[in-house]
Structure 1
Amino acid sequence: MAKDRSSAGDPSRTLALLWREPGGAPAGGRGPRPGLSVDAVVRAALELADAEGLDAVSMRRVAQQLGVTPMTLYTYVPGKAELLDLMLDTLFQRMPRPVDAGAPWRERVTAVAEANRALHLAHPWVAALPATRPPLGPGLIAKYDHELSAFDGLGLPDLDLDAALAHLLDFVRSTARTALEARAAERDSTMSDADWWEANAPILAKVFDPERFPLATRIGAAAGEAHQGAYSADHAYEFGLRRVLDGFAALIAERAAGE
């Protein structure tokens, strides 16, 4: 759906809601219901998204969750697009801030990666969202400022700092999405990777002809034995993160040398 991305709602209302400024909720209609709040609406929507996925989140379903009518809900949030930004920013505010300023830079950057991977794996719907227009709320701004501190003091220009963080977060998001897809495949098939490979061993033995495909057979067998399946999300993340860090180290050295 077009609205299942960040920053798809009315910018003024969304920003007012994110920063809890007056005028964030729609004007007119009945007044706020005692005991209900924007935060309560967001919590209910988050529970739905985590339990059933983002497709389950609608103004009607959230209203049912809260025991109110959909029209009552619109007193607090204009629609699903704005609600989605509120949900994301709330998660960003809840994230741990693990960066230790005194730790080596690789440890600092790794801590940022780990925190974001944990976010995606705990809330799978987040990894599936387009991320080019994140909600500019207090949660995102605090997250951005904190995560940039992992790269601070490395002698990198500001544009490199921004690009390095974006590259790291793109890597984490990509590997998290693949991990979630693997998890979904295992759940839907009711078979682990090891079980699947064992069940299909006879036909796979015919397909993987070592004379026709020597590299695929040798390397595929080695990877399969190591991972007990065709793919290991943890290995892919750990291997990739080391390569990302090595790339940052090369960039730092280049900038220090004036290149």
Structure 2
Amino acid sequence: MARDRADDPDHAVELLWERDGGEPRRGLTLDRIVRAAVEVADAEGLAGLSMRKVAERLGFTTMSLYRHVPGRDHLVDLMCDAVVGPPSGPPSGDGWRPRLEACARHAWELRKRHPWLAEVRGTRHIPGPNTVALYDRMLSVLAGTGLAPAEVVAAVELVGRFVDAQALTLVEIARAERGSGVSEEEWWGARDSLYAHLDRYPAISALWEAGGYDRPEDPFEFGLARILDGIEVLVARRRDEKRDESCRVCGGPVEQPSSGRPRRYCSRACRQRAYRARRS
């Protein structure tokens, strides 16, 4: 019956939010299963994770795991929430940018320890309380910046997708190294047959000769800085727009006409006060 619930998203909610994994049986608990699954995924990637391997690591039969978790997909959701863990407190930093950067760096360090997190694809994975708390904390960083609500959500999701994209590179490198037994640096260092053809490309050759490939930019650092730069431009634009919509005299809101010249004052009285101030 437990396996029949493997495709039930409501049961995933129960497991993640109510921790209802069934009664412990001879020392086997849901928490132990999740910890063992994380160890398997850390060692072999998400592709190497199976209920059978988790059961073998714990010394139980595969069927005994299904008394606690109905399937691999639910187990992956539990693993994600477990490694994220409860938030340690508000992100440090003065201003939204260093706080959002701290959140992104926390997510990056988490994925360096558990690269398989970036392999969890699809749009129908149920988030657990730790994952939702982390997401809520990132949203709160941008909530008071003047961005529109949809822009806050989009900016946070942009940062998250960037971190996952960088982490996927780590996954691909590790997978290739496990399969070949050759490191990434050694593999590319042995590609002289390819490099012999590249001198016919002027941009590549010029950058190579100028040292552009000698000390490459860290892709995470470079990308995160550029994304934060873009969000900062948008925040400044929205603040300028808000100032433009405020009365130049009292600071109150100005109702703009649907067409024609924009208004600078909220009322005729404020416009007259501004006129008298200029005359004096």
**Is this a same-fold pair by TM over 0.5?**
yes
RMSD: 2.5
Unmatched segments (≥5 aa) in structure 2: 1-5, 243-280
Matched with 1:3 is none
Q: Deviations over 1:133-189 (max 9, x none)?
A: 342321121111112222232111221111110000111111222244345545636
In the TM superposition, residue 25 of structure 1 has moved relative to its aligned partner by 4.3
- d(CA) in 1 for partners of 2:191, 2:61: 52
Q: Deviations over 1:38-86 (max 9, x none)?
A: 1111111111111122233222222222222222211111111111111
Q: Kindly report which structure 2 residues correspond to 1:205-224, keeping only aligned pairs within 5 A, or say none.
A: 206-209=196-199, 212-221=200-209, 222-224=211-213
Q: Pick the structure with greater CA Rg.
A: 2
Contact 2:87 2:133 in 1 (8 A): no
Q: Kindly report which structure 2 residues correspond to 1:144-163, keeping only aligned pairs within 5 A, or say none.
A: 144-163=135-154
In the TM superposition, residue 192 of structure 1 has moved relative to its aligned partner by 5.1
TM-score by length of 1: 0.80
Matched with 1:49 is 41
Matched with 1:114 is 105
The answer to whether residue 78 in structure 2 is matched with residue 86 in structure 1 is yes
Matched with 2:262 is none
Matched with 2:235 is 252
SS at structure 1 position matched to 2:28: coil
Q: Kindly report which structure 2 residues correspond to 1:119-198, keeping only aligned pairs within 5 A, or say none.
A: 119-185=110-176, 188=180, 190-191=182-183, 193=185, 195-196=186-187
Cα distance change, pair 13–183 in 1 and its aligned pair in 2 (3 A): closer
Aligned pair count reads 235
The percent of aligned pairs where both chains have the same amino acid is 40
- d(CA) in 2 for partners of 1:135, 1:96: 22
Cα distance change, pair 181–137 in 1 and its aligned pair in 2 (3 A): same
In the TM superposition, residue 207 of structure 1 has moved relative to its aligned partner by 1.3
Matched with 1:237 is 220
Cα distance change, pair 40–224 in 1 and its aligned pair in 2 (3 A): same
Cα distance change, pair 98–255 in 1 and its aligned pair in 2 (3 A): same
Matched with 1:4 is none
The farther-off stretch of 89-98 and 110-119 is: 89-98
SS at structure 2 position matched to 1:150: helix
Cα distance change, pair 18–177 in 1 and its aligned pair in 2 (3 A): same
Contact 1:32 1:75 in 2 (8 A): no
In the TM superposition, residue 94 of structure 1 has moved relative to its aligned partner by 5.2
- d(CA) in 2 for partners of 1:56, 1:176: 17
- d(CA) in 1 for partners of 2:95, 2:126: 31
- Comparing both chains, which one has the higher relative contact order based on Cα–Cα distances under 8 Å and sequence gaps of 6 or more? 1
TM-score by length of 2: 0.74
Contact 1:50 1:124 in 2 (8 A): yes
- d(CA) in 1 for partners of 2:173, 2:26: 44
